[in-house]
Amino acid sequence: MNEAFPNPAKNFCDTCAVRNRAICSELDNEEIVALNAIGQRKHLSAGEQLLWEGDEAVVVANVVEGMMKLSTSTIDGKEQILGLAFPSDFIGRPFGQSTPYTVEAMTDVLVCVFRRVDFDRFAREHPRLEHKLLERTLSELDRTRKWMLILGRMTAEQRVATFLLDLSSRFATADAGPTVPFGLQLSRGQIADVLGLTIETVSREFTKLKKAGVISLPNRREVAIEKREVLEDLAG
């Protein structure tokens, strides 16, 4: 039994809601059992950190439920959000010695955690998982480039529109229609932090979109895109 994880949940991979989308999706049943044996489910409350920038890379994880933020500290001590991690996203630095960013739960979160050394060994022994890691790394690079564009070049309207489109694609389900509400999971203040805007600006942009009939807001934590093409035009 792994000393770091004394009581791993048995067969938690069998009931994993993101198994078909996570990095382990290409593994067969025997490999899944082996991966299950070195991992552990962990619950985090909103505001709780899993990884700290600059620390030794001790663990890696896969997000099962909830949303996390990846951030770094600027030279003047301010936080700069680098991106968000959603269900099925992989976080941490396999094969690395230090953690390049802080990872914090923005909502209550469920993650599947592995000791990095155990995961590195497993990945080397299972080429399909290693290939999946490469795919995820390239996707993360694309998302980082897009994030730089959002924060550096887009107007407030474009940032909010792009953010809503990204969320809708992340939380879309096979049976969900184009106007089915999806959960924001974030407060206006958190959205402002993510997009580099003020709370007032975020609220103003949401109000504008609602008045124009582009979105509807069943409540403060849900949104439905009513006119996707218009929102895509606004996002540029």
Q: What is the reported pTM?
A: 0.77
The model's confidence at residue 11, banded by pLDDT at 50, 70 and 90, is low
Q: Which helix (H) or strand (E) holds 143?
A: helix 127-153
Question: Are 27 and 124 members of one domain?
Answer: yes
Total structural domains within the chain: 2
In percent, how much of the chain has pLDDT > 70?
A: 90
- Averaged pLDDT for residues 190-212: 92
Question: Are 123 and 163 members of one domain?
Answer: no
The model's confidence at residue 160, banded by pLDDT at 50, 70 and 90, is very high
Residue 123's domain is classified under what CATH number? 2.60.120.10
Residue 146 lies in a domain: no
Residue 209's domain is classified under what CATH number? 1.10.10.10
Which residues constitute the domain of residue 43? Answer: 12-139
Question: Residues with Cβ < 8 Å from 153, sequence gap 6 or more?
Answer: none
The model's confidence at residue 178, banded by pLDDT at 50, 70 and 90, is low
- Show the tokens assigned to 25: 């999706």
The gap from C-alpha 193 to its chain's centroid, in whole angstroms, comes to 15
Among residues 82, 107, 139, the one where a domain terminates is 139
Let me know: does 89 contact 59? Beta carbons within 8 Å: no
Mean pLDDT score of the chain, rounded to an integer?
83
